[in-house]
Copies of this chain bind each other. A is one copy, B any other.
């Protein structure tokens, strides 16, 4: 049997599916999951789709101790005519392998990874919701499983994919949020793991998030770890600003995640002949643009929210209101276009969409 033959063991019972207005995010999981094992002698082997079930792991498994793990996040969308489609899954598999390299995890076959995702989504296709704005969130992840307490890369791994039907991110249309610039805590630094999608980056972000939430902010804006001057990300999204008609976003520097939505935003803006520049952006610069009335829009971009407008930015005691706290024109156009492509109601000039079966 080839390493690319996926064994399927169907679940004997189907779980009840939650109502589409009760989905929220990442709370319910489908009937099946994908698992593939890695060992040094066999490489990646035994790919299988099995009933969704607990993992049995030795308490000494390295993932619990040394965090050698990577993950991805993408979605399957139900079109109006009932088809199911993915959005740029190749970008997720490419990034998974870049993350693998940084974390010393053996690379996966990217094409096979996409096939595995499609196969699993097909098996659980009844779980792809069809209410507006809903989708099936796909979480591929790899964990180190060797039962050993020495600090070195594991010799065994599991590649797993789980699926979760998720609700519309915005209950009542896209809605600007308040963001606080983070001056003390750091998410990532040059030479660290910021560019990789790995657990530790998220663990280190929790404290800052908890502290600003107490003050009524939705997320933090992360500055660079070296000078604490340059803008990196917002929450777990990439960030964009519209200044005097030009859209600017921090250039990739090794500590910023290479977002799939980020790339899609840049491609669309170019397609529309709207000037877009990737460069280093200081917080002081954004503050000056705001003071001069040149800061027209600000928004986060990521898989979960697609586009998340920033209505207010707090920095060093200053409250900067952006676009009167309203969603800007470019933010809305990007949101409508990207979600339109994802759900199959807009043209797909870049062939981003991949149909399942």
Contacts and interface: CB of A to CB of B under 8 A. Distances in A.
B162 A60 contact: yes
A334 B325 CA distance: 62
B225 A150 contact: no
Contacts of A210: 104, 153
A67 B71 CA distance: 11
B64 A63 contact: yes
A152 B206 contact: yes
Contacts of A230: none
A71 B199 CA distance: 15
Contact of A103 (B25, B192, B193, B207): B207
Among A26, A29, A137, A189, the one with the most B-chain Cβ atoms within 10 Å of its Cβ is A189
Contacts of A226: 189, 225-226
A66 to B, nearest CB: 4
B198 A191 contact: no
B59 A56 contact: no
Interface in A195-230: 198-207, 209-210, 225-226, 228
Interface string A36-62: 000000000000000011111111110
A327 interface: no
A125 interface: no
Contacts of A162: 59-60
A203 B68 contact: yes
A137 B60 CA distance: 12
B68 A59 contact: no
A236 interface: yes
A26 B148 contact: yes
Interface string A142-165: 010001111111000000101010
B206 A68 contact: yes
A191 B29 CA distance: 35
Contacts of A225: 189-192, 225-226
B66 A202 contact: yes
Contacts of A29: 58-60, 147
A91 interface: no
Nearest to A53: B59
A202 B153 CA distance: 10
A199 B65 contact: yes
A207 B33 CA distance: 30
A50 B202 CA distance: 32
A192 to B, nearest CB: 5
B67 A199 contact: yes
Given A66-B202, A69-B203, A104-B207, 6 more contacts: A67-B203, A151-B205, A152-B206, A190-B225, A192-B192, A225-B225
25 contacts: A27-B149, A29-B58, A29-B147, A54-B56, A55-B55, A56-B56, A60-B164, A64-B141, A65-B199, A67-B67, A67-B199, A67-B200, A67-B202, A102-B207, A103-B207, A137-B149, A151-B236, A184-B191, A185-B191, A189-B189, A189-B226, A190-B225, A192-B204, A193-B204, A198-B203
Across the A-B interface, the 6 shortest Cβ-Cβ residue pairs: A200-B200, A26-B149, A67-B199, A186-B191, A67-B203, A66-B202
